[in-house]
Structure formats: C-alpha cells, structure tokens
Amino acid sequence: LMLYDHILTLDKEVRFIWAAPWTLPKTLFLIIRYFVPAFVLIHLCRKLLQDQSTEIVNRTCHLVLIPFSSSYAVLALMHIWNLWDRDGRLMILTSCLFVATQIANLICLTFSLVHITESVYFNSAFSMCMLTDRHSAGIIWAPGVAFEAVIFSALFWNALSRPRYLEDDFTKILYRDGFAYILVSSLLRLMNLILSFVAPLSLIFLGIFFIWCSTTMTVTRLVLNVAGMAEKRALHMFQIELTRFEYNDEDSEPWS
C-alpha cells in the first residue's frame, strides 16, 4: 500500500520537492520517503537474501531507525509553527517539549529493554523478535502519545482563536491536513500503546510496520498537499499582481 501510494504521488514529489532548494524540511521528507520503504523491503527480503551484506545493511537500518523516527515530529512542529506565524514563545516551548520527549523516549526505551531482555525470543517465521512476558513494553509509546496530544491541542487552539474571515483556501488546507496528520498519528501511537497492554504477546510487535508505513504515507501526503497549495497560492498572487499592473498601464495610456 505504501509503495502504491508512492507511485501515485511521485509526480507531485518531482514537481514540488525535487525542484525546491535543499532545506531541512526537504531533507527530512526525502529521508522519510525513501528510508522507510527501503527498510521494510530489506526486512522482508532478508530471508530470501541471507548473506553477510544483507545482514550488515539490515543492522545499519536498525541503528539509524531511532534518530530518523524523530523526523515525523520535526515536520509536525514546523507545521504548527507556520500556523502560529512562527510565534517565538511557542517555538521555544514546543522545541523544549520535543527535546524532553526524545529524552523520555530514550529513558523509556532503556527501561523497557532492561526489563524485557530475558523475555525476548526470535520468531523465524515472522523474522522478528517477540515476547514471552509483557513487562513494561507499553511505556515505549507513552512519550510520543503525550507529545502529539500537546501538538494537537496547539493546532486546535489556533483554529479556534483565528477569525474565520481571515481564512483562505491555503489556510483551510493547512488545518485540514494538519488535523488529519496529528489525528492519524496519535491514533496509531495510541493503538500501539493499547496493543502493548491488551493484545496477545505474539501480536504486540506485528503492528509496528503497519503503523510506521501508515504514518509515512500520512506525513508525506501532508507535505505534498501543502507544497501544492503553496504553489497555487503563489500563482494566484502573481496573476493578481499582473492584472493590477495591466490595469494601471491602461489607465496611464491617455496621459502619454
């Protein structure tokens, strides 16, 4: 499904992303866009290609997974900053919240690994690790759920405080896609959190790839839709300026 969505939106990517100058959002977008499918394919094909090079690539992907997973949160933060017109206090507050969330993620991950190491075994049928005891696996997702709850609250508060007459199509797209991304991402993380406490042990980690791929599709769609709407807005403003210039030029002709 993710690869199919990639093919459907490839023309927008070439038009809006590849033609744009290199910035942090563009770099993060391309990392998410291509690293996630590559990692999933490598993981699925590791049983077919059981050689040393494939295993090295697979381990490398696991090592870079943790820092790259924060790319989603960075793009969400930038989206919120744009909606709040880059308010300095909000940027400082949310940046501190982001750093605190990442620290909490590392603490929770370390705590979980220490307590569940003895309960982990490798399932060759699914080519992934599974648990024999639940322990504290659920706390891994708790910081992310809390972070996105705060981001969603900031987005909702901004939508309520902004006068309706100031909204244009571009702003509506930002809100619609922003709400969709935060809502989907929060629900997926919440589903992971709930599954870690109530699902059978054999199913705790099976939803990770589905949730990861779904989040990737959501955030890439968000970036592409915003980029497309920004281009339409710029073209519309150019047409207005061109019409105004032609109108002023016609008014000046009788005096020449």
Gap between the Cα atoms of 209 and 2, Å rounded: 11
With contact defined as beta carbons under 8 Å apart, do 40 and 213 qualify? yes
109 contacts: CB under 8 Å, gap ≥ 6 = 66, 140
Closest CA relative to residue 78, chosen from 70, 88, 86, 66: 86
In contact, 216 and 29? CB cutoff 8 Å: no
- Bridge partners (DSSP) of residue 122 are 129
Q: Dig out the tokens for 84 from the structure.
A: 């709040």
Distance CA 71, CA 69 (A): 5
What is the chain's percent helix, strand, coil content, to nearest 5? 80, 5, 15
How far apart (Å, rounded) are the C-alpha atoms in residues 141 and 13?
30
Digit-by-digit pLDDT tens for the chain (256 residues) are 778 888 888 888 888 888 878 887 788 888 888 888 887 777 667 655 555 444 554 555 555 555 556 677 777 777 777 777 777 787 888 888 888 888 888 888 788 777 777 777 776 666 666 667 666 666 777 887 788 788 777 777 766 666 544 455 556 666 666 677 777 777 777 777 777 777 776 666 666 777 778 778 877 887 787 777 766 666 656 566 656 655 555 555 454 4
Q: Which of 93, 79, 228, 224 is nearest to 159 (CA)?
A: 79
Provide the residue ranges of all domains of the chain, joining segments of one domain with +: 72-249
**Contact yes or no for 112/165 (Cβ under 8 A):** no
From 99, 108, 94, select the one nearest 192 (Cα to Cα). Answer: 108
Has this prediction a pTM greater than 0.75? no
The per-residue DSSP string of 188-231 comes to: HHHHHHHHHHHS-GGGTTTHHHHHHHHHHHHHHHHHHHHHHHHH
* pLDDT at residue 22, rounded to an integer: 84
